[in-house]
Chain A
Amino acid sequence: MDYPLFTPAIGGGILIAVISILHVVVSHFAVGGGIVLFALESLSIKNGRDPVFRNAARRGSRILILVSTVFGAISGVGIWFTIGVVQPAGTADLIRLFVWVWAIEWAFFLLEIVTALLYYSTWEKVSPRTHLLLIGLYAFSAYMSLVIIQGILSFMSTPGAWPRTGDVADAFFNPTYLPGLVLRSGVCLLLAGAYLMLAVLAEKDPAGRARLVRFLAAFESMGAALAAAGYFWWENALEPAMRLVFLGPKPLLPGLSATRNQMMMAGLLCLALALLALLAPRFQAWPAAVVSLLAGFAVLGGYERVREGSRKPYVVRPHVFSNGLHAREIDSINQRGILEKSRFARLETGRASPSATEAAATGRAVFRSQCAACHTIDGYLGIRKLTKGADTETLNMILTLMKGDGEGRKKLLKGEEAPLDYPLMPPFVGTDSEQDALAQYLVSLQEVRDAR
């Protein structure tokens, strides 16, 4: 709200989702890959330097370096940049609360990057023990960075006791911390098996290849089972209000409910393919490996969508909404006016189309400052379609209800129960004349369409 408005055509939320999913399907492999490579290489050493396992580890190390230290590191920074431009206010708060947690993660990140590069570049140079130590340290640090970041991610959905105590430890060890960690650990193993399966299919010796396939399939099936257990535990740990969004006979967001079902199908597919590979390793071929990798992506991507969708309309429950509004500011903005706060939106009033009335130009700025974070005009959650046929009066009624939700949101902030008219939207905030201007702007969108 205070910040320049960045409203990409696909919607800010979708942009964040795309970049996060690109990142997580790589970073989870980076974590699981360390563990699996460590297992491969220690077995190779134990079995009198078994060349089949050693070569598989070597091939895997190249994937790891190219995928995780380059793409993983850059896309990780990418998520940060994206939430910084789409949701600056919420990001600023998270940084203030968790700066030392992030700093701790960074320390592990340093160890992770250096050991990954060392591991890759010391093949045939150092003794097997040193090499094993390197991948061991890598696996340790990569897993620790997951253990750390999971605290912040889960906090955004379930702040636990923190609103009452204000203690960072409460914020970190929140109700969905452990369930989410179990889920993510499972996904890490699942994805590691799936990625590395592509590398081991290059093994020429059929018997050796079968051993490798079976070995990786074991990780995949273990991972899939662990992820499923973690997921159901996670659902159970959510507040009832969040479950209503995507569970039950009449979910608030049917689309999200469908995402959940697809995620489960993808999980079952992963498990089935992994068991098949376990039982008949000789028949494993690249199409099955590719499908199983894509299904693994779908599981993780689906979970991230469900996690973020069920948090609507908050970035940090129950504090910051995804349009940058803080629940504690509701009263003061209703008095001062939203455009008093949203200076960059106000700058834009001068740039509305010349034919627009002054009220519609103001209304456009109000829309841009507090609705455009979720609603596009004609695309994702397109507002023109949602307000089709409504006149100023109807719209004013809706906005009045939305404004009334402000009282409920303040109660939720205090940890009390409160009914809401629009559970998926932030309350409308602003003065009466701003509300009227917004209604006029929304009607003017209809007129433009009618004129065509």
Chain B
Amino acid sequence: MPVETVPAESVFPVPGAPAVVHALWLLTFFLHLVFVNSVVGGSLLGGLSTLVSGRGWKVAELFVELNSWAISLAITFGVAPLLFVQLLYGRFFYTASALLPWIWLGMLLMMAAAYYLNYIAKFRFAAGKGAALAVWGSALLFLGVTAIQVAVNLLHLRPELWTSVATDPMAAFRYGEFRARFLHFVLAALIFAGILLAWISVRRPEKGLDPLALKARAAFGMRVALVATLFQIADGLWLLGAMPRQVLRLWMRQGVLEVLPLLLSIILSFGLLAFLVAAQDPMANPKRVRNALEFFGATMIVMVGMRHQLRNLYHEAAKAADPVQSRAEWGGFLLFALTFALCLGLTICAVVRSVKDRPPEGEPVA
């Protein structure tokens, strides 16, 4: 039986070729996740390092600095997928967020507080003070933001849950599938941040850090990544088990090509595991660290694609997958493409100039 509560489609068609929209969506969502991984994983790692005597390692200092950029970019690249999900699946997405209205709006307060805590930590570190509280505070808030995002995104996939969440919003956080999915995102963030920490320590260490501390820090990053990957593989199986049977059944019936991403992601994650084991002494194996980062990136690409691929199956399983009307309007898209090329070009130009332009001693600086 189709789910009755799915709202009617907008009468206005989607003004663009769906393939173009999907491509832009996937690209921006991938970039969004890269920055999110740095923010969530990095702030957690910064907090964890204060527990394991890692003060001299300056992990928190590193990620606080990095994340003052990554948070902004995570927001910027989060806005684009948000636009596209509303464009194509608005009736699912608005319903999901309107089922948890205060939680959904509260997420913004959490995000703002976490961002300001990151700046507080940055200013305190710059003044030579400690900031463990601010670092932990922002890490926990970002975990909360992740949980709310996962809950709303899960609800937009599963209209059959809407009536129960309408009476009890907290139910959204108790489904097994929610828990497995949430853990999946958090573990991925930890893996990424761990490998990134090792890679920076090996390749681009900050000036003035003790070589022994660097070595210990890189090993710490790789160890966290390894442990998190082991858990991640187990969690992936849990997630598969927690998905609605009907979705799995539809998926497996589709054909080899559709199941290929799943197989690929399993192979890639074991490949990642192998590199992580091989690079437990990162200073001695800098190349393996890079390989691990590359494998992680490849796994992410496959995962992002798979997540996208399954959306229609979820809606089909809930008998709510009516096709969306579209009408290609190339004029609007072209104008966007030109503006985007211009802005991206100027952005790159600004970054390159800011990095390259270092006036010699005696010349004026800004």
Binding site for B on A (CB under 8 A): 2-4, 6, 8, 41, 49, 54, 66, 69-71, 73-75, 77-78, 80-82, 84-85, 88-89, 91-93, 95-97, 99-104, 106-111, 113-115, 117-118, 122-128, 130-134, 137, 141, 168, 326, 328, 341, 343-344, 347, 351
A81 in contact with B108 given A104-B339, A108-B339, A122-B366 (CB within 8 Å): yes
A128 in contact with B95 given A69-B72, A108-B343 (CB within 8 Å): no
A77 in contact with B75 given A66-B119, A126-B358, A137-B346 (CB within 8 Å): yes
Q: Can you spell out 14 A-B residue pairs with CB atoms less than 8 angstroms apart?
A: A70-B72, A71-B112, A85-B94, A88-B94, A92-B86, A93-B11, A95-B87, A99-B83, A106-B80, A110-B76, A117-B72, A125-B365, A126-B358, A130-B353
Q: Which of B15, B340, B344, B351 contacts A168 (CB 8 A)?
A: B15
Instruction: List B contacts of A347 (CB < 8 A).
Output: 5, 163, 166
Q: Which of A4, A73, A96, A326 contacts B15 (CB 8 A)?
A: A96
Instruction: List A contacts of B112 (CB < 8 A).
Output: 70-71, 74-75
- Shortest Cβ distance from B44 into chain A, in angstroms? 21
Binding site for A on B (CB under 8 A): 4-5, 7-8, 10-16, 24, 68-69, 72-73, 75-76, 78-80, 82-83, 86-87, 90-91, 93-95, 97-99, 101, 104-105, 108, 111-112, 115-116, 119, 162-163, 166-167, 329, 332-333, 335-336, 339-340, 342-344, 346-347, 350-351, 353-354, 357-359, 363-366
A96 in contact with B347 given A88-B90, A91-B86 (CB within 8 Å): no
| Docked pose: A125 CA to B343 CA in angstroms | 24
Q: Which residue of A lies closest to B13 (CB)?
A: A96
Interface of B, helix, strand, loop or mixed by DSSP: helix
* Contact indicator A73/B340 (Cβ below 8 Å): no
Chain A CB count within 10 A is highest, among B69, B73, B115, B365, for B365
Instruction: List B contacts of A117 (CB < 8 A).
Output: 68-69, 72
| Docked pose: A104 CA to B350 CA in angstroms | 19
Instruction: List B contacts of A111 (CB < 8 A).
Output: 343, 346-347, 350
* Contact indicator A78/B86 (Cβ below 8 Å): no
* Contact indicator B91/A2 (Cβ below 8 Å): yes
Instruction: List A contacts of B340 (CB < 8 A).
Output: 103-104, 107
Instruction: List B contacts of A106 (CB < 8 A).
Output: 76, 79-80, 83
A96 in contact with B14 given A74-B111, A104-B336 (CB within 8 Å): yes
Q: Which residue of A lies closest to B333 (CB)?
A: A100
Chain B CB count within 10 A is highest, among A69, A95, A127, for A95
Chain A CB count within 10 A is highest, among B4, B75, B329, for B75
- Shortest Cβ distance from B360 into chain A, in angstroms? 10
A92 in contact with B90 given A78-B108, A99-B16, A107-B336 (CB within 8 Å): yes
* Contact indicator B353/A133 (Cβ below 8 Å): yes
Q: Which of A71, A113, A123, A133 contacts B73 (CB 8 A)?
A: A113
* Contact indicator B354/A126 (Cβ below 8 Å): yes
Known pairs A70-B116, A130-B354, A351-B167; list 6 more (Cβ under 8 Å).
A2-B91, A101-B332, A114-B350, A125-B358, A126-B365, A130-B357
Instruction: List B contacts of A101 (CB < 8 A).
Output: 332
Q: Which of B4, B78, B350, B357 contacts A115 (CB 8 A)?
A: B350
| Docked pose: A102 CA to B16 CA in angstroms | 13
Q: Which of A69, A84, A168 contacts B97 (CB 8 A)?
A: A84
| Docked pose: A107 CA to B68 CA in angstroms | 20
* Contact indicator A344/B166 (Cβ below 8 Å): yes
A77 in contact with B108 given A95-B87, A107-B336, A137-B346 (CB within 8 Å): yes
Instruction: List B contacts of A49 (CB < 8 A).
Output: 364
A110 in contact with B166 given A95-B86, A122-B354, A168-B15 (CB within 8 Å): no
A343 in contact with B115 given A73-B72, A75-B108 (CB within 8 Å): no
Instruction: List A contacts of B339 (CB < 8 A).
Output: 104, 107-108
- Shortest Cβ distance from B221 into chain A, in angstroms? 25
Q: Which residue of A lies closest to B71 (CB)?
A: A70
Instruction: List A contacts of B82 (CB < 8 A).
Output: 77, 80
| Docked pose: A118 CA to B355 CA in angstroms | 9
| Docked pose: A100 CA to B12 CA in angstroms | 14
Q: Which residue of A lies closest to B4 (CB)?
A: A343
* Contact indicator B350/A137 (Cβ below 8 Å): yes
| Docked pose: A418 CA to B104 CA in angstroms | 40
| Docked pose: A324 CA to B76 CA in angstroms | 29
Q: Which of B24, B68, B101, B365 contacts A6 (CB 8 A)?
A: B101
Instruction: List A contacts of B166 (CB < 8 A).
Output: 4, 344, 347
Q: Which of A107, A109, A134 contacts B354 (CB 8 A)?
A: A134
Q: Which of A96, A109, A130, A141 contacts B12 (CB 8 A)?
A: A96
Instruction: List B contacts of A66 (CB < 8 A).
Output: 116, 119
Q: Which residue of B lies closest to A102 (CB)?
A: B83
* Contact indicator B359/A100 (Cβ below 8 Å): no
